[in-house]
Structure 1
Amino acid sequence: MQTRLKTLFVSIIITLTVSLSANAQKNADKFIVVLDAGHGGKDPGNLGNGYREKTIALNIILKIGAALEKIPDFKVIYTRNTDVFIELRERAAIANRADADLFVSVHCDSYTNQAHGAGTFVMSLSKSSQNLNTAKKENEVIYLEDNYEEKYSGFNPNKPESLIGISAIAEENLDNSILLANIIQEKMVKLKRKNRKVKQDVFWVLHNTYMPSVLVETGFLTYKKEGAYLNSKKGQTEMAKAIKDGIVSYKKQIYGNIVDNNYIIKTEDVETVSEEKIINKIIYKVQIAASSKKLEPKSYNFKGLNEISREKEGSLYKYFYGYTSDLNKIKSMQSEAKQKGFKSAFVVAYKEEKRISLQKALNSVSN
């Protein structure tokens, strides 16, 4: 009897091992996206004009997921796909356990006046009182969790200093989070939604994720016309498509060919930009693209733009336009890059050849 049980036990282990190995191989080449519908269960979210944020967010997430699941190289994981309560920390943990490539959280906003429009947030530090109001509302759900004092170490979403004190997401993920946020924002604005732009702030749901992560505020339920739109099947379908298209475009930009011509050049060493050596000053560049493709930093590979530089980070190559300590000049170069077709171009900053956050650079200059 013992021998037969041992044989059965070994057989089960072998079957599980083979199954897990097969699943691992099956998912090895998949682009994993974790979709997070804000709130849920005992947490309804905001109830502007009688609408339920938790229901609208879930409907949009399920539509995004259904569309992505039709694309062979995508794998979708939901933090929730029903009306259940999921703790903020667990939402991030789900993404981390899955070793996801992206984390996208969907919400609806509210305010006391006629504020409206769609906006996208990434994890960072911000002292903007308006941004902090949004962050505070989305973070207050921790009070519904058991033992929240223990889990969140005295964190108080009602105190701005508590929000500001949280450490920012890893810098390398922040870059790609901003890229994803810009692409999604562009897609939403094409629906003739008021552009509330990409902002950086402190959200617990983004705080502990180890991959590029964004939080999308699809609109304000408290604004009558917008609330009705987001509560409608048409509105939810359009918003879901915009976010889905943003995710797909991001993947193409990161892992596909970033140029519109056939010049994929094999190169020996990176061509350094003709640059002014500015000691102990903030240097600005415009990040125009990131890709797994290694391209020679020449103007013919980047739609005629000169002053191109390239940096390698992990398996990605990042491409930059410009090199200056003049903030006005770099903003002008960012506009030029966007006019050339690099719609998601954004400004980055360096100090003593080390990458720093743009907020830190601006604070340093103003002090």
Structure 2
Amino acid sequence: MYNVKRILSIVCTLLLTTSMHTGQADSEGYKIKTVVIDAGHGGHDPGCLGSNSKEKHVALGIALKVGKFIEQNHPDVKVIYTRKTDVFVELHERANIANKANADVFICIHANAAAAGAYGTETFVMGLHKTEANLSVAKRENSAILLEDDYRSKYDGYDPNSVEANIIFTLHQNAYMQQSLLLAQKVQENFVDYAGRYNRGVKQAGLLVLYKTAMPAVLIEAGFLTNKTEEKYLTSNKGQTQLATAIYKAFNEYKVDMESGYDGSKSIVSSGSESGETKEVAQNTPVKTEPKKSEPVKPSPPKIVEKKTVVKKSPVDKPKTEVPKPKATPVKKTVYYTVQIGAVRESNTAGQQKLSKIENVIENHGSDGYIRYSVGRFSTVSDASNQKRKLISSGFKDAYVTAYNNNDRISLKEAALLMK
């Protein structure tokens, strides 16, 4: 049972650890040195089930790829895995691994389950579950402790229905909230921009694995195994690679922000739908992390169709005099595809020297404060993809195809529709 002394002691601990971490991030020369990648479930805990898949396998596949990408591109960052094989790791031990390593970031990877029509990705940070949908996610993920021996003593008599327990959760949601939200937002943005997934939003829930961590932490639900289309994507090597790459890109952007002194205080996020439904997406539409349309699947390369102006004549029943209406002038659309090779908050000499070796570099200053560098303007995804392959072979491993309309970045799906 929680008591007043217990709550006060945790308050003091939170204030101490929070000030230590934020002070470290604000100090000159701060570097992210250690990241912990946590693949959910494992061993005799399968997690949620698809028609022919288990969450524990999907989570591990994505987690290992994320760690590999970080190791390859940031050799100065130590990557620690809570598990690298199909073994059961208790929730408190996952957090202990991160805490003992004095990790700078904790990334927990899961797959989702709900009604068959639900789809998309969502990323959670520690906090109060404001909706029934968020609560159901927390209950499902926290239920893993029931498989542990003597779980009540390990989690201080944790009871999700306890008023005191919820007070503790309220306190914890403020510990590393800004940094956690910043990372979560970037994960969702990259799921949309790179992997073409549907964005269900950044949300809060009382998740035990995050509650025990003493650093910025997120829990990623990479898609629904209960949706046959997403299950096929989540269990494929292509799908897992795309999702892992999106998570890596988010980590990379977060690393740049934190090491430059930006703490995410201006992040705009949502806590998800207030309706509390986890059913069809039409009944649970979250607030997006960015005011742009997100789609679940990347489109096929669009065909360029020659447009012809057709003037429709109004039917005439009998001769009469009409005042001719002026023809509407079509709005000119300047849609093009390009290959993004990097994004920074501030330009630097080393980066400029590397870019100077490439022709047709485009510099775009986004409203989010990032300077994005891309190469070429193409009328088809196919041409842009060919350029992407060349850039990857030249050393730009993170290159990917994106689209713009009148210098505003849009999704590939939106570009395909506008090009029709």
**TM-score normalised per structure 2:** 0.54
Residue equivalent to 1:33: 35
Residue equivalent to 1:125: 128
2 CA distance for matches of 1:245 and 1:96? 24
1 CA distance for matches of 2:123 and 2:147? 25
1 CA distance for matches of 2:56 and 2:211? 21
- Equivalent positions of 1:72-111 (< 5 A) are 72-111=75-114
* Secondary structure of the structure 1 residue equivalent to 2:38: strand
- CA deviation vs aligned residue, 1:267-326 (integer Å, no higher than 9, x gap): xxxxxxxxxxxxxxxxxxxxxxx53xxxxxxxxxxxxxxxxxxxxxxxx7x7669xxxxx
Q: Does 1:252 align with 2:256?
A: yes
Q: Residue type of the partner of 1:58?
A: L
The answer (yes or no) to whether the contact 1:166–1:202 under 8 Å persists in 2 is no
* Secondary structure of the structure 2 residue equivalent to 1:146: coil
Ranges in structure 1 where 5+ consecutive residues have no aligned partner: 1-27, 257-289, 292-315, 322-330, 344-367
**200, 215, 219: which one aligns with 2:219:** 215
**131, 139, 153: which one aligns with 1:136:** 139
2 CA distance for matches of 1:200 and 1:52? 24
Residue equivalent to 1:274: none
| Shift in alpha-carbon separation, 1:162–1:59, aligned structure 2, 3 A | farther
1 CA distance for matches of 2:247 and 2:40? 15
TM-superposed CA distance for 1:175, in Å, is 0.7
| Shift in alpha-carbon separation, 1:184–1:319, aligned structure 2, 3 A | closer
Greater helix share, structure number: 1
RMSD of equivalent CA atoms: 2.5
The answer (yes or no) to whether the contact 2:126–2:173 under 8 Å persists in 1 is no
1 CA distance for matches of 2:167 and 2:211? 12
TM-superposed CA distance for 1:192, in Å, is 1.9
Residue equivalent to 1:243: 247
- CA deviation vs aligned residue, 1:180-236 (integer Å, no higher than 9, x gap): 000111001122211111001110000011110000000000000001100000000
**179, 187, 203: which one aligns with 1:176:** 179
TM-superposed CA distance for 1:169, in Å, is 2.5
* Secondary structure of the structure 2 residue equivalent to 1:40: coil
Q: Between the two proteins, what is the percent identity of the paired residues?
A: 45
2 CA distance for matches of 1:340 and 1:128? 31
Residue equivalent to 2:200: 196
Ranges in structure 2 where 5+ consecutive residues have no aligned partner: 1-29, 268-286, 292-364, 371-420
- CA deviation vs aligned residue, 1:141-200 (integer Å, no higher than 9, x gap): 00000111222233245x486873442426251110000000111001122211111001
| Shift in alpha-carbon separation, 1:30–1:117, aligned structure 2, 3 A | closer
The answer (yes or no) to whether the contact 1:29–1:73 under 8 Å persists in 2 is no
| Shift in alpha-carbon separation, 1:172–1:127, aligned structure 2, 3 A | closer
TM-superposed CA distance for 1:72, in Å, is 2.2
The answer (yes or no) to whether the contact 2:127–2:173 under 8 Å persists in 1 is no
- Equivalent positions of 1:173-322 (< 5 A) are 173-190=176-193, 191-256=195-260, 290-291=261-262
| Shift in alpha-carbon separation, 1:153–1:230, aligned structure 2, 3 A | same
Q: Does 1:341 align with 2:368?
A: yes
Instruction: Give the number of the structure whose alpha-carbon radius of gyration is greater.
Output: 2
**148, 151, 154: which one aligns with 2:151:** 148
Q: Residue type of the partner of 1:179?
A: L
**Higher RCO (CA 8 Å, separation ≥ 6 residues):** 2
TM-superposed CA distance for 1:118, in Å, is 0.4
* Secondary structure of the structure 1 residue equivalent to 2:51: helix
TM-superposed CA distance for 1:341, in Å, is 2.3
